Structure 1
Amino acid sequence: MMKPRLTIFDEPMLYTEGLSKLLAQSKIFNSIDICNSQEKLSQQLQEEAPEFLMISSNMLMLTELCKSVESITSKHKNIKIIIFGNSYDVIDIRKLFNKGIKSYLDKSSNYDEFLRSIQCLMADEVYICDNAKNKMISFISSDQSQQKLHIKDPLTKREMEILKLICDGLSSKDICEKLFISINTVETHRKRILLKLNVKNSVGVVKYALENHIID
């Protein structure tokens, strides 16, 4: 089996070069390239996209990171993206997986966990680091975890549709473009959903959807 190629999109150079040398010793990858600018990464993806791409949250804000992941995976279906996040919350991690990443690590992840994630990806599995996994368990089990919320006024078909898009991490602007409705209409639906579910924000919406098996 041919060894995969890895590209690291991160900075500073001292850190990336050190990681590159460490990984070279593991002999997992055929080659390891370092990109420290978006221009350089775009050029490399155009010329010869690697099988594995590690992107650090040092390089892009979360919104830009999501757009970048979506763009890369739409053009390069076989690329496996590993994100090194900056302690993102559960909704943001879910959003990144929905956009196409295959592995999520954060600042608490060590080298051994990075290698575990690579092994999972090589076996065509996804990987989420222990710290983020614990966050998810805590998120699902906290507050009223043992009881489902019973709402007096059921959600309409459109509200249920919007609820699922909120759980996918879409903004009001994304939802209005996807459903071809005005942003004011989306905001009205959002307010009604929060009111009906008796929750304060999107985190409460996702929690309700998970507890009631509306989403997996």
Structure 2
Amino acid sequence: MMKPRLTIFDEPLLYTEGLSKLLSQSKIFNTIDICNCYETLSLQLQEDPPQFLMISSNILMLNEIYRAVEKITSQNKDIKIIIIGNSYDVTDVRKLFDKGIKSYLDRNSRYDEFLKSTQALLSDEIYICDHAKERMIDFISHKQGQSRLQMRDPLTKRELEILKLICDGLSSKDISEKLFISINTVETHRKRILLKLNVKNSVGVVKYAMENHMID
């Protein structure tokens, strides 16, 4: 399989250069470009879009990121967007996923989380950094009084276990290894979870779990 290309949209900082070099050493990407001008980025996305696009909150305000993500995903749904945010609120992170991003990392995320995020996206999974997941749990703990949405059928103990692992950002392969079951079995459980929650994908699972206090 051909290695993907990555474009990092950020200010020309030492941090950005360092991250680019570290990611180059990982040999995950075929090429890594750094872009710090929105006009240049727009031209690249039109002429030769990368498979992965990392957007930093250093270079755009949150509302600008919303608009950029919406525009980019409307023109090319195959681009996997990673947002490097400034410890955004849970509602802001959720809105970013609604707009079409595939991964969210805080600016203080460790390098190994960048690698985990990349591997998750290569497996067509979403990824949320540990700090953001902790904020989700805090958010959920303050919403215990809210009514739960009704499911078509209650989830089984195994399905609840797999749901939590999905919310932790694990791929089907990771879940199968962790629970000592086959990938086909994991996929069967995934399909049943999607059906019972009446959602379309992993993003929907995470949103439902957050709103209904299922991962606290």
Coarse TM-score class (shorter-chain normalised) = 0.5 to 0.7
User: Deviations along 1:14-73, whole A, 9 cap, x unmatched?
Assistant: 222222111111110000001011011111111100000000011111111101001000
Q: How many residues align?
A: 154
| Residues 22/212 of structure 1: CA separation in 2 closer, same or farther (3 Å cut) | closer
Secondary structure, aligned partner of 1:54: strand
The answer for the alignment partner of 1:21 in structure 2 is 21
In the alignment, is the contact (CA less than 8 A) between 1:7 and 1:50 conserved in 2?
Answer: yes
Q: CA deviation at 1:212?
A: 8.7
The answer for the alignment partner of 1:129 in structure 2 is 129
Structure 2: runs of 5+ lacking an equivalent: 149-206
The answer for the alignment partner of 1:63 in structure 2 is 63
Secondary structure, aligned partner of 1:74: helix
In the alignment, structure 1 residue 98 sits paired with structure 2 residue 81 = no
Structure 2 CA distance for aligned equivalents of residues 212 and 34 of structure 1: 39
In the alignment, is the contact (CA less than 8 A) between 1:52 and 1:80 conserved in 2?
Answer: yes
The answer for the alignment partner of 2:77 in structure 1 is 77
Secondary structure, aligned partner of 1:93: helix
Structure 2 CA distance for aligned equivalents of residues 74 and 83 of structure 1: 17
Tell me the TM-score normalized by structure 1. Answer: 0.67
In the alignment, structure 1 residue 33 sits paired with structure 2 residue 33 = yes
Which has more radius of gyration?
1
In the alignment, is the contact (CA less than 8 A) between 2:9 and 2:41 conserved in 1?
Answer: yes
Structure 1 CA distance for aligned equivalents of residues 25 and 91 of structure 2: 36
Identity score, percent = 68
Pairwise mapping of residues 104-123 of structure 1 onto structure 2 (< 5 A)? Answer: 104-123=104-123
In the alignment, is the contact (CA less than 8 A) between 1:148 and 1:212 conserved in 2?
Answer: no
Secondary structure, aligned partner of 2:108: coil
Structure 1 CA distance for aligned equivalents of residues 63 and 92 of structure 2: 10
User: Deviations along 1:66-89, whole A, 9 cap, x unmatched?
Assistant: 010010001011000000000100
Q: CA deviation at 1:126?
A: 0.2
In the alignment, is the contact (CA less than 8 A) between 1:51 and 1:80 conserved in 2?
Answer: yes
Q: CA deviation at 1:107?
A: 1.9
Q: CA deviation at 1:132?
A: 0.4
Secondary structure, aligned partner of 1:68: helix
| One-letter amino acid of the structure 1 residue matched with residue 30 of structure 2 | N
Structure 2 CA distance for aligned equivalents of residues 90 and 106 of structure 1: 12
Tell me the TM-score normalized by structure 2. Answer: 0.67
Q: CA RMSD for the aligned pairs?
A: 2.1
In the alignment, is the contact (CA less than 8 A) between 1:87 and 1:107 conserved in 2?
Answer: yes
Q: CA deviation at 1:211?
A: 4.1
Pairwise mapping of residues 164-183 of structure 1 onto structure 2 (< 5 A)? Answer: none
Secondary structure, aligned partner of 1:23: helix
| One-letter amino acid of the structure 2 residue matched with residue 30 of structure 1 | N
| Residues 22/211 of structure 1: CA separation in 2 closer, same or farther (3 Å cut) | closer
| One-letter amino acid of the structure 1 residue matched with residue 110 of structure 2 | N
Structure 1: runs of 5+ lacking an equivalent: 151-205
Structure 2 CA distance for aligned equivalents of residues 128 and 212 of structure 1: 17
| Residues 211/124 of structure 1: CA separation in 2 closer, same or farther (3 Å cut) | closer
